Amino acid sequence: MTFDAELTRVIELFQFPFMQRALLGGLLIGLMGGLLGSLTVLRQLAFFSNALGHSALLGLSLGILLGINPSWTLLPFAVLFALAVIYLFEHTKLWTDALLNMMHSSFLAIAIILLTQVEDYKGGINNLLFGDILAIQPSDLILSGVLLVIATVFITLTLRTQMLVTLNESMAIARGVDVAAQRHAFIILLALVVGVAIKAIGVMLVSAFIVIPACAARLLSGNFTLHILYSTGLGALSAVLGIVLSAFFDLPSGPTIVVTQLAIFLGAVGVSKLAANVA
């Protein structure tokens, strides 16, 4: 098939409402992932997003076992997971990565045991693991849109506080910042974003949306505010580009977006090396 014919096919594909919803959903999730991801990476919470993504399989499994829409159990589960992690951080003297590892392995194990008890769902595990962005519904778009507005307002209006908390918590406390409240608010917001993104990207790949655009942005910016803007922009760009490429080459959407993010990251490595050599 010629390039023109292929292009016409892709343009026609985007006439379908499900593809338009996938594109808009990808854009919203890419923006949210990049925005929250910037602070997540700078606060060294990247592993938290990964652990939450994997543990969320338990939230989905509970919904399936109870015979209700898994989306209804996923978000409350994500928030409860975040609160449990905060509790363990603050009440045990154990290492963060060890605690997260323990929690996500255990939750994953419980989820798999639960899924084996559900006769009807054994075949659909791929959808849980890798998501299905083409199955995004209008209600998912509304939820993503509302969450993006909340995240944007929260980070914009508390930007200076977020910067000081990220830089040095003691200095923030000395200025009267309730660091614990800020930390809790951010982790709960991150849990909700990961929860919303899981339906489209799946539990295995969701943390890539949080981590990769933020890492690429860090290579391109030495300034905190610009880092957040670049990360948000790259998150959106990679999601839209990934969906278009997946349509063009007839590839699975979620993994194609993540590969696009990786390509952008490698591009950022090249640009940063080039800039260092010029300077």
Partner 1 sequence: MSCCAVHERALQDEVLKVTGLTVYRERQLAIENVSFSLLKGTDTAIVGPNGAGKSTLIQALLGILPRQTGEIQVLGQPVSKQGKLDTRVREQIAYLPQSFLFDRLLPMTVQELVGLGWDRLGWQLPWQSHNARQRAIREALSRVDAWHLRHQSLSGLSGGETKRVLLAYCLVRPRKLLILDEAPAGLDVRSEGAFYQLLKELKQENGWAILQISHDIDMVRQSCDRVICLNQTIHCQGTPQVTLTAENLSLTYGSDFVPYRHSCRDKQGKG
Of 54-62, 79-87, 183-191, 217-225, the window that binds partner 1 (rule: CB under 8 A) is 217-225
Those residues with Cβ within 8 angstroms of residue 3's Cβ, 6 or more apart along the chain or in another chain: none
Q: Which of 261, 166, 279 is nearest to 215 (CA)?
A: 261
**Cα–Cα distance measured from residue 7 to residue 215, given in angstroms and rounded to the nearest whole number:** 32
Those residues with Cβ within 8 angstroms of residue 250's Cβ, 6 or more apart along the chain or in another chain: none
> Nearer Cβ to partner 1, position 146 or 153?
153
| Closest approach of partner 1 to the CB of residue 223, in Å | 6
Cα of 138 vs its chain's centroid, Å: 19
If one asks whether residue 232 binds partner 1 (CB under 8 A), the answer comes out as no
> Nearer Cβ to partner 1, position 174 or 274?
174
Residues 22-61: x where in contact with partner 1 by CB under 8 A, - otherwise, as a string: --------------------x-x-----------------
**Cα–Cα distance measured from residue 55 to residue 102, given in angstroms and rounded to the nearest whole number:** 11
# chain residues binding partner 1, by CB under 8 A: 29
> Nearer Cβ to partner 1, position 141 or 220?
220
Q: DSSP string of 207-226? A: HHHHHHHHHHHHHH-SSHHH
| Closest approach of partner 1 to the CB of residue 96, in Å | 14
| Closest approach of partner 1 to the CB of residue 203, in Å | 28
Q: DSSP string of 142-157? A: HHHHHHHHHHHHHHHH
> Nearer Cβ to partner 1, position 44 or 137?
44
**Which 140-169 residues touch partner 1, going by CB under 8 A?**
156-161, 163-164, 166-168
If one asks whether residue 227 binds partner 1 (CB under 8 A), the answer comes out as yes
| Closest approach of partner 1 to the CB of residue 163, in Å | 6
List of residues contacting partner 1 (CB under 8 A): 42, 44, 156-161, 163-164, 166-168, 170-177, 218, 221-227
